[in-house]
C-alpha cells in the first residue's frame, strides 16, 4: 500500500505532462514491484530480527548498571553500525571530492562514525541520567549553529545532508530499538518519552563532525562535479547491472549487526535455539528485502525521477514546486524506517498516537521540504540556510512547548524520513531539475535536499504534538 | 437511587490490532460507560507464517463496562461488526462486576451480595486513571493496606470524553492498576483512592471490582 501512491503519481505524470519512454516506464513498473516486495520482506525481517537485537542490546547495556559501560558500549555500537552504512560511504566519497582531496575518504568515514558513536553514547547516558531531551538538542544544535557560522555554506549543506545519510534503512530500526530497550529496562515515569530521541541524537553527530573537519582543514572552496548521468538501456539489463552492487551494500550493512549479535549472544543473551533461529531468519529477510528494495529504487525509480525533474523544469518550470509538494507527500510513505518508527510509537503509547496521524504529519512535512527545495533551485538568491536556520530554530523553540514524547518522535523522524527512497528518488528529481535550469548548479543545489527532508519533520511533528496538547487540554 | 440496582458486566474482547478503536466507538454508541484498550500479543495460526519465523501478532484487548440489561443488544452489535462468530476474528467474553464506582453520575452502584458475603477471600480491584496519575493511585492504595499491584498501560475514553483530531477521535492514554486485595481491605483501598484522586469528578477515572474465586502466590504480609 505504501509504495502505491508514488507509483500512481509517476504514472499520472506520465500520462499527463511528462511522457516517459516506454522502455523506462516498464523498468519503473518492474522497480515498483521489486520495491513493494522488498519493503514487505524488509519490514517483516526488521520486526523479527533487527528490532529484537537492538532491544536486547539496549536491555543488556542498561543492566550493566554502570554509566561508563553504557556510554562506552553506546559509542562502540554507534560507531560500528555507522561505519558499514553504504550511504555514509557514498557521502564520504562526495565530501572527499568536494574538498578537492584535502579530506581523505577514510578520514571522513572515521570522523563521522566517531560523531555518531559519541552521540549514541551520550544519548544513552541522557536516558540513564534523565536529562531532558529538549535541553540536549538545544546544546547540540547551538554548537552546530556556532560551527555553521564559520563554515562554508556548501559544507553546511553537506554536513546536514550527512545527518540524513547516517540514519539509513538498517541503522534506524536498530538505534530506535536500542533506545527503547534501555528506557524500558530503566523504567520510571519517563519511559514513554525516553523511548524516542536516540536517532535524533545520532543524526546530529555527523553534522558536528563534518563541520569541524571542514573548519580544521580550512576548506575555502568546494570542488568536484556531479556524477555524469548515464541513461539506462534495455529493460532487464540495468537490473542485472546494479544487482551485485546492492547485494554487496546490503551485506555490508547487515554484517556488523550480525557479528555484534553473535558476540553478544555468546556472552550475554544466551538465547535458546528457537529464538536464535528466528533472529537469524529475520536478519536474512532484512538483507533480502533491502537488496530488492535498493535494486528496485536505483534501477527503476532514479532515472524516472531525474527525467521528470529535467522535463518539468524545462517545459513547465512554474509547476515544479507543486509537483515537488505532491512528490514529497507520497515519497515518504515508501520509506521503510517510517513503519518501524510508527509501530514503535503505537507500542509505546498503547495506540494513543496512531500511525496514520504520524504518516499524515510526516507527509505534509516532506511535501514542504521538497517544494521549498524546488524553489531554492529556481531562485538563485534563496539560500539553504534561509530555510534551515529558521527551521531548526523553530524546532528547538517548539521542543520546550510540546509534550516531551513528541520532541523525541519528531527528532527521530527527521532521520527516519531521509531514507533510501527519498535520498535517491527526490535527489534525482532535484538534480534533473537543477540540470535544466541555467541558474542552478547541479552540485551545489543537489546538496541540501536531504537536509531539508531531515529538517521539516522536526517542525511538522512537533506542531502535531502542539495540536494534541491543545486538544487534550480542551477535553480535560 | 433506583438505578443503583442495575448491575454491570465487564465486556472483554480480544481483537486484531487496529480494531480496538472501532470497538470503543461502537460501544459508546451502545451506551457503555466508555472503554479501555491495551495491547497484547497473540499466537499465529497460519502455518506458513510460522514457518517463515513469525513469532506473534499484535492484538488489542478491549474492555468496557455496560449495564446487564443492555448486554444482549451489545453482543449482537459487536458480533455483527467484528464477525466474532467466525473463526480467527477475535473472541469476546463478559464477567460480572461485583462492585462498581460509576464516576460520571457521582454515585456508586453496589451489588446486594457485597454486604452479605463476608468470608475470607479476595477481590480484584481495577482502577483506571489518566496517564500520569498512577503513582498517586499506588500511594493511596498502599496507604490503605494494599500489598502490591500491577500497572497495565492502555488507552481509552469515558462515555463523555470527546476530543477529535482531524476527525480521528483521540483516546487518551490510561494506566490500569490491578490489585488483588483481601475482601475486608477492598473498601478501604477504594475509599483511599477515591479521596486522593477525587475520582467522582467526571473524567478522572473509574474503579470496579471483580470477584475472585481462587488465588495463589499472594504474599500475606502482616
Note the pLDDT tens digit of each residue in A420-465: 888 788 888 988 898 888 887 776 777 788 889 999 999 999 999 9
Q: Helix, strand or coil for residue B161?
A: coil
Question: What is the 3-state secondary structure of chain A?
Answer: CCCHHHHHHHHHHHHHCCCCCHHHHHHHHHHHHHHHHHHHHHHHHHHHHHHHHHHHHHHHHHHCCCHHHHHHHHHHHHHHHHHCCHHHHHHHHHHHHHCCCCCCHHHHHHHHHHHHHHHHHHHHHHHHHCCCHHHHHHHHHHHHHHHHHHCCHHHHHHHHHHHHHHCCCCHHHHHHHHHHHHHHHHCCCCHHHHCCCHHHHHHHHHHHHHHHHHHHCCCCCCCCCCCCCCCCCCCCHHHHHHHHHHHHHHHHHHHHHHHHHHHHHHHHHCCCHHHHHHHHHHHHHHHHHHHHHHHHHHHHHHHHHHHHHHHHHHHCHHHHHHHHHHHHHHHHHHCHHHHHHHHHHHHHCCCCCCHHHHHHHHHHHHHHHHHHHHHHHHCCCCCHHHHHHHHHHHHHHHCCCCCHHHHHHHHHHHHHHCCHHHHHHHHHHHHHHHHHCCCCCHHHHHCCHHHHHHHHHHHHHHHHHHHHHHHHHHHC
CA distance A304 to chain B (A): 34
Angle between helices A198-216 and A171-186 (to 10 degrees): 120
Q: What is the pLDDT of residues A296-346, one digit of tens each?
A: 988 888 889 989 999 999 999 889 999 999 999 999 999 888 999 999 999
**Has residue A233 got a pLDDT over 80?**
no
Are B197 and B204 in contact by the 8 Å Cβ rule? The answer is yes
CA A306 to chain centre: 20
B165: nearest CB among A282, A350, A468: A468
Q: Do A278 and B53 touch (CB under 8 A)?
A: yes
Q: How far apart are CA A116 and CA A411, in angstroms?
A: 15
Q: Say how far apart CA B125 and CA B141 lie, in whole Å.
A: 10
Directed axis angle between helix A449-475 and helix A384-398, to 10°?
A: 30
Q: What residues in B contact A44, CB-CB < 8 Å? A: 52, 54
Region B105-122: mean pLDDT is 49
Among the ranges A396-405, B101-110, B144-153, which has the highest mean pLDDT value? A396-405
Higher pLDDT, A140 or B220: A140
Residue B211 backbone phi and psi in degrees, to 5: -75, 145
Give the nearest partner residue to B53 out of A281, A346, A356, using CB atoms. Answer: A281
Please determine, for residue B122, whether its predicted confidence score (pLDDT) is greater than 80.
Answer: yes
Indicate the SS3 state at residue B167: coil
For B168, the closest of A281, A350, A357 (CB atoms) is A357
A189, A347, A468 ranked by CB distance to B39: nearest: A347
Residues of B in contact with A467 (CB under 8 A): 165
Mean pLDDT within A213-235: 71
The Cβ of residue A186 has, within 10 Å, a number of other Cβ atoms equal to: 18
Residues of A in contact with B39 (CB under 8 A): 346-347, 350-351
Q: Between residues A379 and A97, which one has the greater pLDDT?
A: A379
d(CA A391, CA A144): 14
Beta-carbon separation of A471 and B164 below 8 A: yes
Residue A411 above 90 pLDDT? yes
Distance CA A46, CA B136 (A): 38
Chain B residues inside the 8 Å CB shell of A474: 163
Q: What is the DSSP letter of B170?
A: P
Q: What's the rounded mean pLDDT across residues A238-257?
A: 88
Residue B170 to residue A471, Cβ atoms within 8 A? yes
pLDDT at B3: 46
- pLDDT value, residue B171: 81
State pLDDT tens for residues B161-189. 666 666 666 788 889 999 988 888 888 88
Question: Which one of A282, A351, A474 has the shortest CB-CB distance to B53?
Answer: A282
**Measured in Å, how far apart are chain A's first and last C-alpha atoms?**
37
Q: Phi then psi for A349, rounded to 5 degrees?
A: -95, 15
Q: Which of A48, A357, A474 sits opposite B53 (nearest CB)?
A: A48
pLDDT of residue B162: 66
Query: Environment class of residue A209 by beta-carbon count within 10 Å: exposed (0-12), middle (13-18) or buried (19+)?
Result: buried
Q: What value, to the nearest 5°, has the Cα angle with vertex A224 and ends A304 and A209?
A: 95
Of B55, B161, B165, the CB nearest to A467: B165
* Helix, strand, or coil (residue B29): helix
A476 and B162 within 8 Å at the Cβ level: the answer is no
- Whole-number Cα distances in Å, A31 to A274, A330, A463: 35, 16, 35
Q: What are chain B's domains?
A: 2-211 (3.30.70.120)
Question: Backbone phi, then psi, for B179, in 5-degree steps?
Answer: -125, 130
Q: A interface toward B at CB cutoff 8 Å? A: 44, 48, 189, 277-278, 281-282, 285, 346-347, 349-352, 354, 356-357, 360, 467-468, 471-472, 474-476
What pLDDT was estimated at residue B103? 42
Question: What per-residue confidence (pLDDT) applies to B67?
Answer: 86
Whole-number percent of chain B with pLDDT over 70: 82
Cβ of A468 within 8 Å of Cβ of B161? The answer is: no
What is the C-alpha separation between B16 and A471, in angstroms, rounded? 28
Position A21 pLDDT exceeds 70: yes
**3-state secondary structure at position B75:** helix
Q: Name the residue among A172, A82, A78 with its Cα closest to residue A118.
A: A78
pLDDT of res. A166: 77
**Averaged confidence pLDDT in chain A:** 87
Could you give the C-alpha distances from A70 to A191, B5, B212, in angstroms and in order? 17, 58, 44
Query: How many C-beta atoms lie closer than 10 Å to residue B167's C-beta?
Result: 5
User: How far from each other are the two terminal CA atoms of chain B, in whole angstroms?
Assistant: 39
- Residue A277: all three cell numbers together: 533461529
Q: Residue A28: pLDDT above 90?
A: yes
Closest residue, chain B, to A52 (C-alpha): B55
**Lowest mean pLDDT segment, chosen from A142-146, A161-165, A273-277, B132-136:** A161-165
H or E element in which residue B99 lies: strand B91-102
ipTM of the complex: 0.77
Question: Which among A285, A352, A476 has the least Cβ separation from residue B155?
Answer: A352
Res B221: pLDDT:
56
- Evaluate if residue B197 carries a pLDDT over 60: yes
pLDDT tens per residue across span B62-110: 999 888 888 888 899 888 888 888 888 888 999 888 777 654 444 444 4
- Residues in B touching A361 (Cβ below 8 Å): none
pLDDT at B125 over 60: yes
DSSP structure class, residue B4: G
**Chain A CA closest to residue B49:** A44
Residue B105's pLDDT is 42
Mean pLDDT computed over A276-302: 91
The larger pLDDT score, comparing residue A231 to residue B183, is at B183
C-alpha cell belonging to residue A204: 546530529
Whether pLDDT at A86 is above 80? no
A247 Cα to chain B: minimum distance (Å): 21
Percent of chain A with pLDDT over 70: 96
Contacts of B170 in chain A (CB under 8 A): 352, 468, 471-472, 475
Nearest-by-CA chain B residue for A274: B53
Which of helix, strand or coil describes residue B120?
A: coil
CA distance A334 to chain B (A): 21
What pLDDT, on a 0 to 100 scale, did the predictor assign at position A409? 94
Q: What is the model's pLDDT at position A1?
A: 65
Which residue would you say has higher pLDDT here, B109 or A193?
A: A193
Q: What angle do CA A282, A285, A287 make, to 5 degrees?
A: 110
Q: Which residues of B touch A349 (CB under 8 A)?
A: 155, 173
- Which residue in chain A is spatially nearest to B160 when comparing CA positions? A475
Amino acid at each position: 500500500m505504501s509504495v502505491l501512491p508514488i507509483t500512481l503519481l509517476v504514472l499520472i505524470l506520465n500520462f499527463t505532462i511528462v511522457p516517459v519512454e516506454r522502455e523506462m516506464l516498464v523498468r519503473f513498473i518492474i522497480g515498483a514491484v521489486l520495491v513493494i516486495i522488498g519493503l514487505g520482506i524488509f519490514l517483516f525481517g526488521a520486526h523479527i530480527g533487527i528490532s529484537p537485537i537492538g532491544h536486547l542490546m539496549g536491555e543488556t547495556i542498561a543492566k550493566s548498571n554502570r554509566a561508563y559501560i553504557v556510554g562506552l558500549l553506546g559509542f562502540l555500537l554507534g560507531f560500528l553500525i555507522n561505519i558499514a552504512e553504504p550511504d555514509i560511504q557514498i557521502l564520504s566519497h562526495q565530501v572527499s571530492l568536494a574538498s578537492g582531496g584535502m579530506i581523505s575518504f577514510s578520514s571522513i568515514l572515521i570522523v563521522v562514525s566517531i560523531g555518531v558513536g559519541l552521540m549514541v553514547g551520550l544519548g544513552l547516558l541522557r536516558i540513564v541520567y534523565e536529562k531532558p531531551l529538549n535541553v540536549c538538542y538545544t546544546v547540540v544544535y547551538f554548537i552546530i549553529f556556532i560551527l555553521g557560522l564559520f563554515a562554508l555554506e556548501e559544507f553546511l549543506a553537506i554536513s546536514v545532508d550527512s545527518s540524513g545519510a547516517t540514519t539509513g534503512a538498517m541503522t534506524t530500526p536498530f538505534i530506535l530499538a536500542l533506545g527503547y530497550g534501555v528506557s524500558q529496562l530503566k523504567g520510571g515515569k519517563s519511559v514513554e518519552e525516553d523511548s524516542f530521541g536516540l536517532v535524533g541524537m545520532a543524526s546530529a553527530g555527523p553534522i558536528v563532525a563534518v563541520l569541524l573537519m571542514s573548519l580544521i582543514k580550512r576548506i575555502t572552496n568546494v570542488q568536484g562535479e556531479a556524477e555524469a548521468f548515464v541513461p539506462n538501456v534495455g529493460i532487464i539489463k540495468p537490473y542485472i547491472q546494479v544487482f551485485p552492487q546492492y547485494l554487496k551494500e546490503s551485506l555490508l550493512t547487515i554484517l556488523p549487526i550480525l557479528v555484534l549479535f553473535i558476540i553478544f549472544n555468546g556472552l550475554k543473551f544466551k538465547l535458546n535455539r528457537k529464538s536464535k533461529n528466528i533472529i537469524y531468519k529475520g536478519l536474512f529477510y532484512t538483507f533480502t528485502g533491502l537488496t530488492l528494495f535498493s535494486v528496485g529504487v536505483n534501477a527503476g525509480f532514479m532515472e524516472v525521477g531525474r527525467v521528470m525533474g529535467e522535463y518539468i523544469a524545462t517545459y513547465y518550470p512554474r509547476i515544479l514546486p507543486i509537483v515537488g509538494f505532491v512528490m514529497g507527500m507520497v515519497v515518504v510513505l515508501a520509506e521503510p524506517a517510517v513503519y518501524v518508527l510508527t509501530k514503535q510509537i503505537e507500542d509505546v503509547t498503547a495506540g494513543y498516537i496512531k500511525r496514520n496521524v504520524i504518516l499524515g504529519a510526516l507527509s505534509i512535512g516532506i511535501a514542504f521540504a521538497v517544494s521549498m527545495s524546488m524553489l531554492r533551485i529556481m531562485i538563485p538568491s534563496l539560500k539553504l540556510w534561509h530555510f534551515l536556520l529558521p527551521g531548526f530554530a523553530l524546532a528547538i523553540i517548539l521542543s520546550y512547548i510540546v509534550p516531551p514524547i513528541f520532541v523525541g518522535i519528531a527528532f527521530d523522524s527527521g532521520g527516519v524520513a531521509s531514507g533510501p527512497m527519498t535520498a535517491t528518488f527526490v535527489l534525482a528529481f532535484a538534480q534533473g531539475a537543477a540540470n535544466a535550469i541555467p541558474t542552478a548548479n547541479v552540485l551545489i543545489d543537489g546538496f541540501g535536499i536531504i537536509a531539508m527532508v531531515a529538517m521539516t519533520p522536526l517542525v511538522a511533528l512537533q506542531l502535531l504534538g502542539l495540536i494534541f496538547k491543545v486538544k487534550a487540554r480542551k477535553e480535560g | 437511587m433506583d438505578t443503583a440496582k442495575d448491575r454491570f458486566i465487564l465486556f472483554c474482547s480480544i481483537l486484531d490490532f487496529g480494531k480496538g478503536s472501532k470497538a470503543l466507538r461502537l460501544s459508546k454508541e451502545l451506551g457503555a460507560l466508555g472503554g479501555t484498550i491495551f495491547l497484547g500479543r497473540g499466537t499465529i495460526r497460519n502455518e506458513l507464517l510460522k514457518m517463515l519465523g513469525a513469532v506473534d501478532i499484535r492484538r488489542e484487548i478491549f474492555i468496557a463496562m455496560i449495564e446487564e440489561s443492555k448486554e444482549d443488544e451489545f453482543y449482537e452489535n459487536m458480533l455483527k461488526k467484528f464477525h466474532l462468530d467466525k473463526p480467527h476474528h477475535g473472541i469476546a467474553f463478559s464477567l460480572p462486576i461485583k462492585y462498581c464506582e460509576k464516576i460520571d453520575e457521582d454515585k456508586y452502584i453496589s451489588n446486594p451480595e457485597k454486604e452479605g458475603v463476608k468470608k475470607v477471600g479476595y477481590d480484584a480491584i481495577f482502577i483506571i486513571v489518566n496517564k500520569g496519575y498512577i503513582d498517586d493511585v499506588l500511594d493511596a492504595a498502599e496507604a490503605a493496606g494494599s500489598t502490591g499491584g500491577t500497572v497495565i498501560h492502555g488507552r481509552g475514553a469515558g462515555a463523555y470524553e470527546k476530543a477529535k483530531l482531524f476527525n480521528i477521535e483521540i483516546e487518551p492514554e490510561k494506566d490500569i492498576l490491578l490489585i488483588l486485595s483481601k475482601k475486608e481491605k477492598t473498601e478501604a483501598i477504594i475509599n483511599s483512592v477515591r479521596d486522593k484522586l477525587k475520582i467522582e469528578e467526571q473524567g478522572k477515572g473509574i474503579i470496579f471490582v471483580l470477584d475472585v474465586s481462587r488465588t495463589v502466590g499472594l504474599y500475606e504480609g502482616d
